């Protein structure tokens, strides 16, 4: 490890038992992969380097028991720093830390902690104390863990409240959606019933109109068959013409036509026409034949007198 990145430097050469000293190596990055290959190195010293941050995979070094990160330029720790559950001793002296990740509360085995010379949040700084001796650093570890557990519990409660509020909101939305759907179903049902009632009224009206028309037509038929109203004066009964009277009328009409024809053929210029000549001849023959019958002649005379 080169001095800037740690590459080209043999970590095994720096390993002394279970202690690995990488202090004063001018490191800008932590050689996490190489450190992971040395699970025996439970004590790691990275003090006095140029570390600004720790990579997220640094928290995979769960075999670490003691860690010294003092006198770097760390501005924050990884969010899952609490994965280092075997960590008992942590030195963060003289960095640029303001807060600690909430997962810090999971470091249940932490017994020693130094946070001096960091621009800590006033509340956190008051909880951590000065850490001027072994006792104060142990107390700092206990108090900071309690403080971070309280923060974690509060965040969990807030998260639970948020989840509960979201569930209630979701239930409310579902209830509103169900109410809306029920209202829409009721509206469709009402509209369907109204449409059915409208069609039924139309059917009843058409049926009533049809019955009224049939009743009116029946009344008109009955009126046409009834005799004239009693208010009118009674008319004398009409006698049906007899058959003989009709025959007589026909005979009179024929006789009238014959007389008109004879008059026209006797008295007008038409007497020289062939038709009139035939008619005149026929008339003279008929008269001559009738004169031979005295009975008929007497009858004719009698009728002429009448």
Q: CB-based burial of residue 21 (10 Å sphere; 0-12 exposed, 13-18 middle, 19+ buried)?
A: middle
110-135 per-position pLDDT tens digit: 999 999 999 999 999 999 998 899 99
Give every strand in the sheet of 19-21, ordered side by side: 15-16, 19-21, 43-45, 66-68, 89-91, 112-114
Intervals of the chain under pLDDT 70? 1-9, 225-242, 269-271, 290-306
pTM above 0.85, yes or no: no
Residue with token string 């025996």 = 40
- pLDDT, residue 225, reads 66
pLDDT (tens digit, 9 = 90+) per residue, 42-74? 999 999 999 999 999 999 999 999 999 999 999
Domains of the chain, residue spans: 12-155, 280-305
Rounded Cα gap, residues 170 and 277, in angstroms: 128
Q: What is the pLDDT of residue 107?
A: 96
Residue 121's pLDDT is: 94
* pLDDT at residue number 2: 40
What's the confidence (pLDDT) of residue 119?
95
CA angle at 81 for the pair 22 and 135, rounded to the nearest 5°: 75
Q: Does domain 12-155 have CATH number 3.40.1580.10?
A: no
């Amino acid at each position: 490890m080169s001095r800037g990145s740690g590459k080209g430097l043999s970590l095994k050469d720096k390993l002394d038992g279970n202690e690995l000293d990488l202090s004063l190596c001018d490191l800008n990055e932590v050689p996490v992969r190489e450190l992971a290959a040395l699970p025996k190195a439970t004590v790691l010293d990275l003090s006095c380097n140029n570390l600004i941050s720790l990579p997220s995979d640094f928290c995979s070094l769960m075999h670490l028991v003691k860690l010294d990160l003092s006198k770097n330029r760390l501005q924050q720790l990884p969010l899952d720093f609490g994965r280092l559950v075997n960590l008992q001793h942590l030195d963060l002296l003289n960095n640029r830390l303001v807060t600690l990740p909430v997962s810090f509360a999971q470091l249940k085995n932490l017994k020693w902690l130094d946070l001096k010379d960091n621009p800590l949040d006033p509340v956190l700084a008051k909880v951590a104390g000065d850490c001027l001796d072994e006792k104060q650093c142990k107390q700092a570890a206990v108090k900071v863990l309690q403080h971070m557990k309280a923060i974690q519990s509060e965040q969990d409660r807030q998260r639970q409240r948020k989840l509960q509020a979201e569930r209630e909101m979701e239930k409310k939305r579902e209830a509103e959606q169900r109410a809306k759907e029920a209202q829409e179903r009721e509206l469709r049902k009402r509209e369907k019933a109204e449409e059915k009632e409208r069609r039924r009224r139309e059917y009843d009206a058409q049926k009533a109109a049809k019955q009224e028309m049939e009743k009116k037509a029946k009344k008109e038929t009955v009126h046409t068959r009834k005799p004239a109203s009693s208010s009118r004066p009674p008319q004398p009964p009409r006698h049906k013409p007899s058959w003989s009277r009709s025959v007589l009328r026909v005979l009179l009409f024929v006789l009238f036509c014959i007389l008109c024809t004879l008059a026209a053929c006797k008295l007008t210029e038409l007497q020289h026409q062939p038709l009139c000549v035939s008619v005149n001849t026929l008339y003279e023959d008929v008269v001559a034949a009738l004169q031979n019958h005295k009975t008929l002649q007497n009858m004719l005379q009698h009728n002429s007198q009448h």
